[in-house]
Every structure is written in C-alpha cells, then in structure tokens.
Amino acid sequence: MDNRKRDILEPSSKYVKSFRDFKKKLVKYLNAYQIKKIEKAYLLASEAHFGQLRKDGEDYIFHPLSAASLLADLHLDHESIMAAILHDVIEDTSFDKGYLAKNFGNKVSELVDGVSKLDKINFATNVEADAANLRKMLLAMSQDIRVILIKLADRKNNLDTISALSPDKRRKKARETLEIFAPIALRLGIHSLNKELENLSFKAIHPLRYTILKNALIKSRGNRNELMEKIRKVILKKLDNEEIKTDVVAREKHLYGIYKKMKQKELSFSDINDVFGVRIICSDVDSCYRSLGVVHNTYTPIPGRFKDYIAIPKSNGYQSLHTSILGPHGLPIEIQVRTKEMDIMAQTGIASHWFYKSKDKPLVNNYTQEQQWITNLLTIQKDSGNPQEYLKSIKADLHPGKVYVFTPKGKIIELPKKSTIIDYAYAIHTDVGNNFYSAKLDDKTVSVNTTLKSGQRVEIITKKSIRPDPSWLNFAVTEKARHSIRASLKLIKKKDAVTLGERLLKNSLKAFNLEIKDIPKKTLNMVLQEYKCQNVKELFCEIGLGNRIAKLVSIRVAPSENSPKTKKPGEVSIKGTEGLVLSFAKCCYPIPGDNILGHISQEKGIVVHKHDCKSIRKDKKATDEKIDLSWDEHVEEQFNACLKVEVENQRGVLASISSEISQNESDIVSVRYDDSKQTGHNIMIFVITVTGTKALDKLIRNLKKKENVLRVERKKG
C-alpha cells in the first residue's frame, strides 16, 4: 500500500500531472479547503484503483477523473466532484460505503452508493438487473438530484472510450443511452450534455452513417459559412441601430438531431433546411422581444414557426424565443432569442443551480418540477407489475410530446401529445384523478376522454365518493394516469368490482335495447367459455377490474341476425374480441406492431384502424363508437400492408422487386401504377402480406438496397 502511495504522490507521476490540470478548473470557483478535500478523494481513488486497467488499456483512475472534470465544467459543488472521483470505489474495489462515510462524510458516501450498481445480487435476466439498478438510481435521485448528474458524467466518459468494447456491447450501451440517459439529460435541461450523449450513441450504433453525415455537414458548413456570416452581420447592425445590446452567434444542429429529422421525414441531407441558424443573446427580457421585432422587420417570418418559450417555459426550465425567417435566396433560417442567463440555463439546465450559486448570484432555476417528475417515476415503479413493464413505462415517460395547458390559477402543465382530461387530472394529483367527477375546458363542460390542445384552461371537479372507472384505461395516455388507475382498481374489493362491472355492462347493453336477464343462456355460456370465466359474476369482476371492455362484451352477447362466421379462439388477433366479427380497414392497413383502435359498425362488426388513421380521426360519429384495442401476444396470421415504391424506368425492375418480396416470405396481393405525379420515374403501389411491423420494416430496408429503387415507404391506403 505504501509503494502505491509513493508512486501516486511522485511529483513527476502521471497521477499528479493529471490532477494538476484538473485543478485549474476547480480554482475558478471553489475555495482552497474544498479543493483540498477533492484532492484527498482523488488520492484514495488512485490508491483503490491502482493496477486496474480499462478495456482500452488506460489506468482506471482517469475514467472517474474525466467524469469529475465534466462536472467541474458545470461548476458543481465539491461534494459532487468528490463523489464523481470515488463513484466506482464501492462497486470495483475493497473500500465500502462505511469507509467513505467515515473519511468523506455521509453525503459523499450516499452519492457514491446511489450511482453504484447492484452487481452483487443475482438476477434471473438482464432486464431484471437493468430495472433494479434503474429503480435504485431513481430512489437515490429522489433524495439527492446530484446522483443523476454524476451518472450522466460517468456515461459520457464511457461513451468517449466505448470503441474498446465489442460491437454488441457498444450497441447495447448506446441504445440504453438514447432510450434513458440522453432523455434524462434533456428532461433536466442539460442540452449540451444531451447532444453529446446522442452524438456519441449515434456514432456507436451507426458508425458509417455517422461518418457520412459528419462529412456532409463539414462540406455544407464551408458552403454556408459566408451566407450565415452575412445574415449575422445584417442582424447585428440592425440591432445596433436600435441601440439594443446583443451578441449574435451562428449555431449548428447536432448530428443526431439531423439524422432523426432525416429518418422521421424521409429526407436527404440536402433537404434539411434548419441545419444552421442564428442565436441572439440579449441583456434582458425586454431586449429579447425588441430584437424579435427587428428580425421580423428585416426578414420575412415564416407563418406558424414562432414559439414563445419565455412566456411559457418548457417543463425543464428552458426559455427562449424561436422563429424562422426566409433569408437570402429564400433559405429558411431558424432564429433563437434569449438572455445570457437563459442561454446558460439552456446548456446546463438543473446544473445552473450550482453554476449561479458559485458566482453568488440569484438562482435562476427552482427545480421543484424535476423533483415532482422523479416522484412520478417512483410512483410508476411501485405500480409496475414486472421489470419489463417498468422499463417500458420509464422509456415512455422519457419521450413525451408537447401539449401545454393551464390550471385555473394560470400554472402551466406539460403533457404528452394526445393527452386527455383524465391525464391532466392525474398530472395535478393522484387523488384528483381518482376522485374525478367532471371537467371544464375553457369554461365549457367536456367529457373525460376529451383530447387536450395547447393553450386550453382546464378545471377539474372532484367528489370523494367517486372511484376510477376501468374505461378510463381506454384513453389515458400518460404512464402515471394508467398506473394510478390500475393501482386503484386493484384496491377495489372483489364485491365492489362485481357491482361496478355489472353496472358498466348494464349501461353498455342499453345501446342494444337489451338487459342482462334477456341474454340467451346458450350465448352467455359460450361467451363465458371464450373469456375463461366460471360464471357471470366472474365476468362482472373482469369488467370491473378493467380486464374486459364492457362495450366489447355487449357486442358479443347482443343478438345479430346476420352475424358472419367468427374466428376460432386460436385465430383471434385482437385481445378481448373472442367470438366477434373483425375486419381490418383498407384506409390504413393496420398490422401487428401498430397502435390500433376499433370502430364499431353495425354492418361490419369491429373495424380495426391504426390509432393515427386520419379517416377515423375525422369521423364525426360519437366517440363511444371507437375503442382502444391491442394485439394478442401471439399472432401468427398474415396481414395486408401497402407499400409505395418509386423506381427508375428500367427493364426488369418489377421482377426484381417481386423476387425480393417473395424472398422475405411475403405474397403480393395486388400491384398498380400511380401516375399522379410526373416525376419521370415509375411509382408502384403494392399490397402485400406480412406478419407485422418488424417484417415490414425489414422488407423496406431490403428493397431500398435494390438497384434502381429510389424510395420505399409504407402507404396508408
């Protein structure tokens, strides 16, 4: 041990030199006593990791030092820096939590323990291990938000050195980062770290695409630098004329952001117009709005592209004015306008709490929203039935859309797109959701399944005697709402569930002018057998607990004079539709893997559509004719899907495409030419059979590789 210390403390050693460089960052904002404590932590970590090497052959100590260096760039406090340096000591060395607490204090030891994995526990699967470690980290985050900041710094350095891992491990770690850690960084407002994590993950998963896109960006940068500099100077001059003190800088979209947009909208790099933009940094909020007016007077603004995140900040605290203008040669340019404080907040997010504290300035970020978000994640954890469900729920929560609504007191609530009234109720408080009675949207009474739009004001009326309705699960979007409803339903006694289920079925049967006692005994017994219920009370209980949809049960037991032959139980594709007449809409061609809903038709039974199908969304009929559906877990059928293929006008191209479709175990149902666009190319519309979205995606990828094929996309109808 003494030899180790002697090597570490040697002035010419790489350990001392590395800390000396690192120390230059610390002296900018920490005092001598705090830096001394950090140095003590570094000496222990160097000693503990002495002789340990990383996969790339580098001494292990330089990994935690790099993580600590990133946190120093964000001006985090000395305890966070110490914990970052020591973050692998408990997990990978003989030193335990008690030793760290004795030498560095309880706060530092708790931070290190919060970041450490549960590697010493045996798990049945990797998913269970991932879920357990995530649960542990979230629990530690709820006690101290700095835990996740240390974890994000750790992950950033792991991705920096990921090339030493095998391709499979690289992809696994990078995908986990894109699904969980990069979104957490964004949710906490740390945009700079979010972009770095996304770019590094993109490079690890798709190294060739990353390189090609990077080279294209460098080439494009050279072509547009002169133009962007011209726009920057024009704006700066106009602002100077108005005596508005600003700093105008050019900005560039990060690689993964460009890639996502290209993939989502199926565009080439040359079709992306907002790769480059301009950021205006002002001294105060008033100057921001004045600067916006100057920009709009100088260049033509693009309608519908203005967003005011200063008046209505994002949930992670981000504030800025966004607008798009038509620059020289009709080129669309995005403009961002914000104050200097807002700019720091945009880059460092929740870390700005410590950044400003270190400069003895007022805090710009009260992070109660982040704490509430973490509490919501812990609530989801308690209500999750298994690790897979928990991980899926967390990932869904980390990728929300953007709908902003107001409480009666003017507070802004952010919800995912397509959220309904019941999602809002549970977002306010679990008890508000559980006791929901009615709601008003902009002072007008609306139903519980009404979809919310940005800018609306929502008021919820509650009654303590009210309990959650299982039907709410059909339109609840947020994970918090869905888990809260399920958790409440589980607490309902079986007797209450039976009573509730009977009442729901009675109400649903009214649409058929039918009562429960009028259901033919033969029909009822057949339905009970299909639903695997011993008796009618068990069926009521299933409905009351939300496991069966009353509307579907009603359709099943209602007499029909012209009922076509139904599928055998083993052939059922949609959960809960045993014995019912099913058809699949040709306007959107739903297949397993798509989110689906059903439209109840007297002539066709239940017509299955994709959830985002425009034809059913535009349907003006009553909302109770539409129900959310889900695919059965084991679907072995073939389903029709529609593909649009654009090809060069070459001999044999149809035969080549047909052969590829056949090789992918799909059949061609029909093919026709679409002459609606005069592009000089042939556009062919195929209706083919596939087993689901995975098979269809694989086929599309293979078709895109074919010679003479220009574009392939799934067509809605």
How far is 379 from 393, CA to CA, in rounded Å?
A: 11
Q: Which of 326-340, 480-494, 584-598 has the lowest mean pLDDT?
A: 480-494
pLDDT digits (tens, 9 = 90+) for 184-218: 888 888 888 999 999 999 999 999 999 999 998 88
Q: What is the pLDDT of residue 100?
A: 94
Q: What is the pLDDT of residue 361?
A: 43
pLDDT digits (tens, 9 = 90+) for 413-443: 888 888 899 999 998 998 999 999 999 999 8
How far is 311 from 301, CA to CA, in rounded Å?
A: 20
Domains along the sequence of the chain with CATH: 2-164 (1.10.3210.10), 220-357 (3.30.460.10), 368-491 (3.10.20.30), 560-635 (no CATH), 639-714 (3.30.70.260)
Cβ atoms of 340 and 281 closer than 8 Å: yes
Looking at the predicted structure, is the pLDDT value of residue 255 above 60?
A: yes
CB atoms within 10 A of CB 443: 8
Categorize the per-residue pLDDT at 99 as very low, low, confident or very high, splitting at 50, 70 and 90. Answer: very high
Q: What is the pLDDT of residue 56?
A: 83
How far is 378 from 454, CA to CA, in rounded Å?
A: 27
pLDDT digits (tens, 9 = 90+) for 474-530: 788 887 888 888 888 777 666 678 888 888 888 888 877 888 888 888 888 888 887
- What stretches of 656-701 adopt beta strand conformation (E)? 668-673, 682-690
Q: Token digits for 713?
A: 């996309």
Burial zone of 35 (CB within 10 Å; 0-12 exposed, 13-18 middle, 19+ buried): middle
**Residues identified as active-site:** 91-92
3-state secondary structure (DSSP) of residue 367:
coil
Q: What is the DSSP string of 642-706?
A: EEEEEE-S-TTHHHHHHHHHHHTT--EEEEEE--SS-SSSEEEEEEEEESSHHHHHHHHHHHHTS
pLDDT mean over 536-565: 73
Rounded to two decimals, the pTM is 0.60
Categorize the per-residue pLDDT at 632 as very low, low, confident or very high, splitting at 50, 70 and 90. Answer: confident
Please count the residues of the chain: 717
CA nearest 686: which of 630, 642, 653, 654? 642
660 Cα distance to chain centroid: 34
Where residue 561 falls (left for φ over 0; alpha for ψ -120 to 50; beta otherwise) is: alpha
Q: Which of 168-182, 277-291, 360-374, 553-567 has the lowest mean pLDDT?
A: 360-374
User: How far apart, in Å, are the Cα atoms of 306 and each of 142, 296, 335, 358?
Assistant: 36, 11, 10, 35
